[in-house]
Structures are given as C-alpha cells and as structure tokens.
Amino acid sequence: MITLWHNPRCSKSRQTLALIQNAGGPVTIRKYLEDAPSAAEINDALRALGGIGAIDMMRTGEKMFRELGLSRSDSPEILIAAMAAHPILIERPIAFGRGRAVIGRPPENVKDLV
C-alpha cells in the first residue's frame, strides 16, 4: 500500500499518482493542502525519506517561504513548524510505502515503492 501526499493541481503529483496506479499498486491519497500533516508527521516523513534535512523537503521558491522570512539556515524546528502551519511549503508529491518514503521529483522515484 502506498500513501501519497498529493496536490491534484501539480503536474508532477498527478504523474506520480498515475505511475503508481499504472503499476497496479493500491494507493491512499492524502490531499495534504486540505489535511495538513502535523509537525510530528513531518518529522516521521523526514525519517522515512532517509533523514534528509527539513530544507530538502521544502519548496523554497514558494512565495510563502519568502513572506515568512524563512531561510536555508533556519533551524529544522522552525522549518518543520512552518511546513505544518503552511503545507504549501511541503515539496510534492511524497509517496510512502514499505517503511520508507520518496519525493516524486521526478515521478519515477516512486518505482522502488511499487
């Protein structure tokens, strides 16, 4: 079973979902902009992503990143709190399965999970 943090307006997210569905894998979709993950869930995601830095899971080019005055040098706690409060900052899509996760950029990254 794959869980996908999905934004249907994002082409990469749609491509990733299609790749999972075409592989025949069952998928649970979480529209993370509507159902924002908590700070604890973001921490869990970071661990599942192999312990990447919080900044590596963020959309640093997003307007909200600048509006909040965030920077690449901010502490992980500040960045995680920002993602929990403003899920638009979370890089998309993120697929979870088999005890780990991958960011679907490019969408082919999910092939190891299906």
Residue 1 falls in the annotated catalytic set: no
User: Residue 67 to residues 1, 37, 39, 81, 89: CA-CA distances in angstroms?
Assistant: 37, 21, 20, 15, 11
Helix then strand then coil, in percent of the chain rounded to 5, is 45, 15, 40
Of 96, 105, 99, 111, the closest CA to residue 5 belongs to 96
Which among 6, 7, 10, 60 is annotated as catalytic? 10
Residues marked active site are found at 10
